Amino acid sequence: MDYVSGFALGLSLIFAIGSQNAFILKQGIKKQHVFAICLFCALSDALLISAGVAGFGAVTAKYPNIVSLAKIAGALFLLGYGLQSLYASVSKSHALTQDNQQVSSLKKSLLLCFGFTWLNPHVYLDTLVLVGMVSTGADSKVQFGLGAISASFVFFFSLGYGARLLSPLFAKPKAWSILDALVGILMIYLAWYLFDFLPSLNRGDSYS
């Protein structure tokens, strides 16, 4: 039962479309480094969830400045990537099709994935704080943690490999331009969202 509860909580927290999920979706459609990216995201979640269940959430609750610093770094990263995506959506050289892919290196893809994962303050709030707190009510914290970790693996690999079902919709460069524009807008919105919450953090208010 604790495993099922952990799985349900983990899935509900990760299901919302955010910067990380948007990046995985785009890579899945492009069919580039899907396994490595999904594995990186799942293992990152596993590490953070394990730390949260082990009690590290108490540290972030006691020192909210850790989350504040993550918000600043994350907002700057998202802003930069968002502007880059918007530029790509209107660039004359933008010609991403199924037959003519602009292939990014594995190293570059993983570095971007690192930014979307570890510079996202909500990841820490969800895994270290929320999952950590909820796990204290479980009879078996190990089973609860394994359930939440399993949810991450199931979700990321389903998103990454399921995205290719959308490939027929992206047979034309215009579709990729629209996708880049939507991703860019999402990233810039998330960056603004993080900056907007920084003043309250600096005053020491709740960051939940």
Question: Which residues in 119-153 are b (16+ Cβ under 10 Å) and which e?
Answer: bbbbbbbbbbbbbbebbeebeebebbbbbbbbbbb
pLDDT at site 110: 94
pLDDT-derived band at 111 (thresholds 50, 70, 90) equals very high
pLDDT at site 57: 60
Number of neighbours of residue 69 by Cβ within 10 angstroms: 12
26 HSE (CA, 13 A, CB side): 27
| C-alpha radius of gyration, the chain, whole number | 18
CA distance 17 to 88: 21
Residue 17 has pLDDT above 70, yes or no: no
Residue 203 has pLDDT above 50, yes or no: no
pLDDT-derived band at 149 (thresholds 50, 70, 90) equals very high
pLDDT at site 60: 64
For residues 87-114, give the mean pLDDT. Answer: 72
pLDDT at site 106: 92
CA distance 85 to 94: 11
**pTM score, whole prediction:** 0.73
How much of the chain exceeds pLDDT 70, in percent?
81
Q: Are 27 and 159 in contact (CB under 8 A)?
A: no
Number of neighbours of residue 193 by Cβ within 10 angstroms: 13
Q: Of 113, 109, 131, which is closest to residue 14 (Cα–Cα)?
A: 131
pLDDT at site 16: 67
Residue 207 has pLDDT above 50, yes or no: no
How much of the chain exceeds pLDDT 90, in percent?
29
pLDDT at site 173: 73
105 HSE (CA, 13 A, CB side): 3
Over residues 64-99, the pLDDT tens digits come to 676 677 678 778 888 888 898 888 888 755 444 444
9 HSE (CA, 13 A, CB side): 25
pLDDT at site 150: 96
| DSSP state letters, 84-131 | HHHHHHH-TT----SSS--PPPHHHHHHHHHHHHHT-HHHHIIIIIII
**109-to-40, 104, 134, 164 alpha-carbon distances in Å:** 11, 6, 33, 17
Over residues 18-37, the pLDDT tens digits come to 788 889 998 998 889 999 99
Q: Of 194, 34, 170, which is closest to residue 110 (Cα–Cα)?
A: 34
Over residues 29-72, the pLDDT tens digits come to 888 999 999 999 999 999 999 998 887 666 666 776 766 776 78
